[in-house]
Amino acid sequence: MINIPRGTQDILPEETPKWQYIERQLIEIAKSYNYKEIRTPIFESTDLFARGVGDSTDIVQKEMYTFMDKGDRSMTLRPEGTAAVVRSYIENKMHGNANQPLKLFYNGPMFRYERKQKGRYRQFVQFGVEVIGAENPAVDAEVLHMLYHIYSSFGLKSLKLVINSIGDMESRQEYKEALVEHFTPHIGDFCQDCQNRLHTNPMRILDCKVDCEQPAVKSAPKITDYLNDYSKEYYEAVKGHLDRLGIPYVEDANLVRGLDYYTHTAFEMMSEAEGFGAITTLSGGGRYNGLLEMLDGPSETGIGFALSIERLLLALEAEGIELEVDEQLDLFIVTMPETLNEAVKLIADLRMSGIRADMDYLERKMKAQMKQADRLNAKYTFVLGGNELESGIVKLKEMSSGEVTDVKIEEMASYLKERK
């Protein structure tokens, strides 16, 4: 028997309604903020992620699914969504004042070779948004408000929004130099990954899960002490908007995020629900003011976030929240061998009228068909026999109450629509 690849999952029919419900909700919320959907390929040139995500990141060094295509070109299954969206923005010349700010959302599978753990998969579904072409604290606040809106709309309560400012490029560079100076005397105490990061991306040492308790990490300089005046003013303005919007948040000077392209605002949404697990991050994002230029695009700014639907489902489970998913079948038709042909035509007409309907195709006995209607959670059922065809009237049974009503076959669609 061939088994499913390690780190992936089958989403079976009894689970897909939850996914569809969540995806519809996410899309509706994004549209309410005037975001438009963008769809990009699930594989891109490897160079896009090496340049866009960063050569020194764990994603590029350890987690990407990369292959050579038949043209001897290096391709990679997308590990995240932002780089591909920015590539499309540049390639399709979506920049210019008429389009700014351009608000986009995406939803689809991403791929990372990660160690399997609860809520983390090697293929996972990510929903994300990007705003390109507007450097304004109010835009950052809008993105954060949407993130808070999304989780609140599902009834989640045990949330913690963590924010930080990484500053602009000038502030980041000064801070990196300070970190290198601080960490160098202690580098022998760090894990191999952090030793490698010292001169490539020292900020990543701050959120290393292995070395987070090291005294040198706890005593490291704080980015907030290296922000220039513009970065400080920008960060204070973002926090002011969050206060006015009534969005609770906590600040964490060690929050740097795992990708090289972030500047200014960085954030993560966490779950504080009991039983959620050790990895409490639900989603994250930030501003990326230099990414477009890194990918040979115009000097425009961007901000966005991405959330994992798998981890959203985990948070709902941890808080005991059941989604109210309507998957009820409107009608199940109980057929007789002599009326099967007529039933096929009738059910086709009902479906064309927008009725969710099914019928028996196995010529089971009436009692077995009624049990099948019950298993399928049908709201109504009726028997289509010779007498019913002759009279044009069926006895429609409401399964929950057992109430029976005479309904003309020709009026069945309108009758059921009125009771949806």
What percent helix, strand, coil does the chain show, rounded to 5? 40, 25, 35
CA distances from 360 to 199, 254, 340 (A): 68, 61, 9
Say how far apart CA 255 and CA 164 lie, in whole Å.
6
**Inter-residue contact 96 to 74 (CB < 8 Å):** no
pLDDT at 367: 95
Residue 279 has pLDDT above 70, yes or no: no
- In 10 A of CB 382, how many CB atoms? 22
* 126 labelled ligand-binding: yes
> Higher pLDDT residue, 211 or 373?
373
- In 10 A of CB 207, how many CB atoms? 16
In terms of average pLDDT, the best of 170-174, 277-281, 320-324 is 320-324
pLDDT at 212: 63
* 257 labelled ligand-binding: yes
Same topology, domains 16-168+228-318 and 329-418? Answer is no
pLDDT at 169: 86
Question: Is residue 211 very low, low, confident or very high in pLDDT (cuts 50, 70, 90)?
Answer: low
Mean pLDDT check: name the lowest of 52-66, 69-83, 323-337: 52-66
pLDDT at 278: 65
- The mean per-residue pLDDT over the stretch 161-172 comes to 92
pLDDT at 181: 86
Superfamily of domain 16-168+228-318: Bira Bifunctional Protein; Domain 2 (3.30.930.10)
* 262 labelled ligand-binding: yes
Mean pLDDT of the chain: 92
* 364 labelled ligand-binding: no
Distance of CA 169 to the CA centre of its chain: 29
Query: 288-304: per-residue pLDDT in tens?
Result: 988 999 999 998 999 99
Question: Is residue 213 very low, low, confident or very high in pLDDT (cuts 50, 70, 90)?
Answer: low
Length of the chain: 420
**What is the residue whose two structure tokens read 């290198």?**
180
**Short-list 304, 342, 275, CA closest to 147:** 304
Residue 75 has pLDDT above 70, yes or no: yes
Question: Is residue 54 very low, low, confident or very high in pLDDT (cuts 50, 70, 90)?
Answer: confident
* 80 labelled ligand-binding: yes
**Inter-residue contact 350 to 412 (CB < 8 Å):** yes
pLDDT at 260: 64
Question: Is residue 189 very low, low, confident or very high in pLDDT (cuts 50, 70, 90)?
Answer: confident
* 6 labelled ligand-binding: no
pLDDT at 195: 79
Parse the chain into domains and list their residue ranges: 16-168+228-318, 329-418
CATH fold of 329-418 reads Rossmann fold (3.40.50)
The proportion of the chain whose per-residue pLDDT surpasses 90, expressed as a percent, equals 72
Query: 105-150: per-residue pLDDT in tens?
Result: 999 999 999 887 777 899 999 999 999 999 999 999 999 999 999 9
* 261 labelled ligand-binding: yes
- The mean per-residue pLDDT over the stretch 225-239 comes to 95
